[in-house]
Amino acid sequence: MILANAQLILADRVMRGQVHIEDGRIAAITEGDAVPAGAEDCGGAHLAPGLIELHTDNLERHIQPRPGVNWPHSAAIFAHDGELASTGITTVFDAVRVGSIPKDGAGYAKYARPLVTEINALVAARRLRISHFIHLRTEICSETLMDELAEFTPGDRVRLVSLMDHTPGQRQFRDISKLAEYVQGSKGLSNAEFDEHVARLKDLRARFGDAHEAGAVAAARRLGATLASHDDTDAAQVAVSAAHGVRLAEFPTTEEAARAGHDHGILNIMGGPNLIRGGSHSGNIAAELLAKAGLLDIISSDYVPSSLLLGACHLARLWDDLPRAFCTVTDAPARATGLDDRGRIAVGLRADLIRLADMERTARVTGVWVEGRRVG
């Protein structure tokens, strides 16, 4: 198959040309606007590598579309998979929480092990459109983290483990009023019930926090997964992350933390919604400020799948550099997690490609190929 007459977003430039695909791989790249017989004419549209998503809560939204409403997992996975494909995402790290608080009115029950089993079964049966890996979000403030982590093996396709510490009064929720807004809005707690929830989380951190953090770091090594921190706020927290072997910092909350991360060779991930909205819904630093300071390396769609493409286009305008911007959603996340077979339009790599229209306005996806197979 040949995709011809396209504006190819390469690693270092944009080039009019064609991509030759054989056996799911990019076999050749040719410059020019020629359209060989039998080729698909892209009509000058942009052709980019498929987007790579490292942290999305989107699957959880499909599994529980309303508080207390549980949806059949296979149907939720198919819907999630199709939605991501429609937004140009061809590789996803499905974020799944491990660690539960089953007895708290604002707590959460265990679900990770059976869900991951179902995802991997669908992957093995080739029933999904895009490529799926597992991202375990380890909740430090929980009762069951170590027991749940013990259920996972290196065969579970876990490629990313993140350290989540949602203790009230620090990191993401330094401003406890933001936590109250989030938890009381979603759980319908009274002020007294919310106060009890906060006290319970602080008690869990005091009793289990250090052991759970060390256990999660060890689990990442055992599973062969990349380790990420979450919501680092200051240089001291970043130093601890670096000592653990963290390679990715998800959503640093201050410029101090983002800059310290770079000093330690850690890549910073910021949310697409933050970038598009112009700020964090939790009141933390705006992603655009980090982008302007040269401290933003990777975008995550977080809770809005379409924000990955929109975020890359936003950065392209901000930096006046389309290849650099698209690197944050393709090559950079691939390299950071050891996926050396994708993330660029280059000979020998997977033919994971997306065709884009209306780049000067609100970009939209008009074609999606995964290993040369059209899926959207």
Residues 355, 216, single domain; the answer is: no
pLDDT digits (tens, 9 = 90+) for 267-297: 999 999 999 999 887 778 999 999 999 999 9
Task: Using alpha carbons, list the distances in angstroms from residue 363 to 45, 202, 296.
Answer: 11, 44, 21
Asked whether residue 131 falls in the same domain as residue 257, the answer is yes
Our CA angle for 298, 300, 305, nearest 5°, is 145
- Look over the chain and give the mean of its residue pLDDT values, rounded to a whole number: 92
Query: 324 with 195, same domain?
Result: yes
* Domain extent for 74: 51-340
Asked if 296 and 326 count as a contact pair (C-beta separation under 8 A), the reply is: no
Check whether 339 has a pLDDT greater than 70: yes
Query: Residue 104: its pLDDT value, please?
Result: 60
Report the CATH number that the domain containing residue 364 is assigned in CATH: 2.30.40.10
Query: Does residue 45 share a domain with residue 167?
Result: no
Mean local confidence (pLDDT), 324-348: 98
Q: What pLDDT shows up at residue 204?
A: 80
Say yes or no: 62 and 178 in one domain. yes
Of the two residues 226 and 193, the one the predictor is more confident about is: 226
Instruction: Say whether both 12 and 111 belong to one domain.
Output: no
Report how far apart, in Å, the C-alpha atoms of 141 and of each of 170, 223, 237, 245, 301 are. 13, 21, 17, 21, 25
Q: How confident is the model at residue 202 (pLDDT cuts 50, 70, 90)?
A: confident
What is the mean pLDDT of the segment spanning 151-158? 97
Q: Is the pTM of this model over 0.95?
A: no
Judged against a pLDDT cut of 70, whether residue 182 lies above it is answered with no
Q: How far apart are CA 295 and CA 65, in angstroms?
A: 35
- Using the structure block, give the residue that is written with the tokens 């390679």: 247
322 with 196, same domain: the answer is yes
User: Residue 94: which CATH number?
Assistant: 3.20.20.140
Same domain for 58 and 45? no
Tell me: do 308 and 185 sit in the same domain. yes
pLDDT of 209? 82
pLDDT digits (tens, 9 = 90+) for 10-50: 999 999 999 999 999 999 999 999 999 999 999 999 999 99
Q: Quick check: 180 pLDDT over 80?
A: no
pLDDT range class, residue 163, cuts 50, 70, 90: very high
Total domains in the fold of the chain: 2
CA 222 to CA 15: how far, in whole Å?
A: 43
Cα-Cα end-to-end distance for the chain: 16
Residue-wise pLDDT for 89-147, tens only, equals 999 999 999 998 876 655 678 999 999 999 999 999 999 999 999 999 999 888 899 99
- What proportion of the chain, given as a percentage, has pLDDT over 70? 92
347 shares a domain with 210: no
Looking at the fold, whether 258 and 355 belong to one and the same domain comes out as no
What would the pLDDT profile of 237-252 be if each residue is shown by its tens digit? 999 999 999 999 999 9
Instruction: Tell me: do 2 and 12 sit in the same domain.
Output: yes
